Amino acid sequence: MTDTESLLVTPLDALHRELGGRMVPFAGYSMPVQYPAGIMAEHLHCRAQAGLFDVSHMGQAELVGEGAAAALEKLTPADVQALKPGRQRYGLLLNEAGGIVDDFMVANLGDRLFLVVNASRKHIDLPLIESVLPSGVKLRPLADRALIALQGPAVAALVPTDLTFMGIAQIEIAGIQVLASRSGYTGEDGLEISVHADQAEALARALLAMPGVMPTGLGARDSLRLEAGLCLYGNDLDETTSPVEAALTWSMGKRRRVAWDFVGADTVRDHLDNGVKRLRVGIRPEGRQPARGHTAIQQNGAVIGEITSGGFGPSVGAPVAMGYVARAAAADGTALDLMVRDKALPARIAAMPFHPHRYAR
């Protein structure tokens, strides 16, 4: 999208501009890709102290009514019904062919389910979810709420809570009532904070006034999640990719793998039972040159896959990537060639994450 007049803005748009954010189009929104400190500095600061991210472009919604969890399970192999109040879980929405429509977060708030879906897919996800709801269960989009992520090892001291990893609760920060989950997209400890839109700027300013908190843009968010081995929908996941190919079978509940009562279950079951032709893997290029998305992966001169996400990992001090390769080449340590600018760049399959997760378990 190049017509900036048609871009949506988040409740923090004016603050981003005040802070010197370089705004770019992303998922239909005008979003800050970086601030004056730069992507490298923002990335490393988040790993060392705390970064504040505006993720208000994400879709937030509530499912309310008896049977909401069972209804959502028609579309996902995640065990939503076993989710206890005050807990959150990662899940996948699937299509009839077992492909991934989106990845999302679902939380049990006791009297309702709270959902967060990707910005680029919310116009697809929410109608899809609504289409399977029985009478008495309602989907309520939360368009009047912003979402702020505060990530990094300093967060636990800056905003003390009793939450452990994937816990969620209503708490107060700087005198503002928010819904906070101890989760994130960086591999670091931190919070994702849902707040009413008209209080978002006041909350962001209060958080930025805390010692060691730096505004952080989409550029560092991408390099942080790549080092953490976390998928980006549209790059690493799409509607032609199954949970088994994507190495996300851990997100499928044991009970769900007995009942097989979700959309796309036949394909997923076949992939588990009989294997897949390709797998998502981590890749470490040799040297300092990164390999970007859509780079062809070769072995012995034959194309066996493609990079889906790649770049330089500031915390790793080297290029990192993930992509899909033929199953026979997916073992850690396997030698590959990445075709960067028509030259073969040596690389090896590597375990993910590239940088250790530091969640508060």
Domain segments of the chain as ranges: 1-274, 277-350
The pLDDT of residue 129: 98
Distance CA(294)–CA(287), nearest Å, equals 19
Distance CA(242)–CA(93), nearest Å, equals 10
The pLDDT of residue 1: 40
Are 91 and 105 in contact by the 8 Å Cβ rule? The answer is yes
Q: Which fold has domain 277-350?
A: Elongation Factor Tu (Ef-tu); domain 3 (2.40.30)
3-state secondary structure of 119: coil
Residues of the chain with pLDDT under 70: 1-5
The pLDDT of residue 361: 87
Are 227 and 316 in contact by the 8 Å Cβ rule? The answer is yes
The pLDDT of residue 343: 95
* Domain 1-274 class, CATH top level: alpha beta
The pLDDT of residue 2: 45
Tokens at residue 17, please?
A: 């501009």
